[in-house]
Amino acid sequence: MQMLFVTATGTNVGKTYASLQLIKALKSKGLRVGCCKPIETGVVGTPLDAAALLDACRQGNSAFASLTPKDITAYTFALPAAPYCADTDHSIDPAQIMQKIKSLQSMSDFLIIEGAGGLMVPITRDYFMIDLLQDIGCSALLITPSHLGCINETLLSIEALQRRSIPFEWCVNLREDGEMFRQTTQPFYDTYFQNWWSLQDGLEQFVSRVLKKIQ
């Protein structure tokens, strides 16, 4: 059984989109793919990100067919904010999150875990999203944006992962400012990084690398 933690430089960068594409690609290779959205905020009724992930997993993994979106989350909160701020009762227990991940992992050949916000988003006062990632002990896929200013966000996130010695790959989601990206950002990436790739063009090759590691 294997896992991948999908994170990003911040919110609304493309974690759910990337997770859905990964689920689709891994399912096409014959794997029983599972999913987990440990914490989702901004929830009124159904957690929408969790629902989208679960819908993608149901076909191809019968163990997930009877689950509800809240079954693949450990905590949901109404306030659209960092978990620590949304959790006004301070109810979050990281051990419960780990137990949820362990349970869903046992139902899958490969588990996609989608984080909330970026790496330094607080879950509790002293426990951040990157701490959860480190405790899980799996590799990460960092999704970075393509808007002006994204170099700074990308380098800070990469530095945080490297400082913790967390194995990761990263890719750019070219959904915005695509033309400007080629002028304002790509020249630096081409010079500084030999193997950077975009979510739109490099996902299949990434999945192939993942499969080689688990076979």
Kindly report the number of other CB atoms within 10 A of residue 159's CB atom: 10
Structure tokens at 165: 């010695």
User: What is the rounded distance in angstroms from the CA atom of residue 84 to the CA atom of residue 126?
Assistant: 10
Contacts of 69-75 with C-beta under 8 Å, sequence gap 24+, read 70/46, 72/35, 72/36, 72/37, 72/100, 72/104, 73/36, 73/37, 73/38, 73/39, 73/40, 73/47, 73/100, 74/38, 74/39, 74/99, 74/100, 75/38, 75/39, 75/40
Q: Give yes or no for a contact between 164 and 35, defined as CB atoms under 8 angstroms apart.
A: no
Structure tokens at 66: 């009877």
User: What is the rounded distance in angstroms from the CA atom of residue 61 to the CA atom of residue 108?
Assistant: 7
Given the residues 15, 29, 37, 102, select the one marked as catalytic: 37
Q: Give yes or no for a contact between 186 and 1, defined as CB atoms under 8 angstroms apart.
A: no
Known catalytic residue at 37? yes
User: What is the rounded distance in angstroms from the CA atom of residue 7 to the CA atom of residue 16?
Assistant: 9
Catalytic (active-site) positions: 37
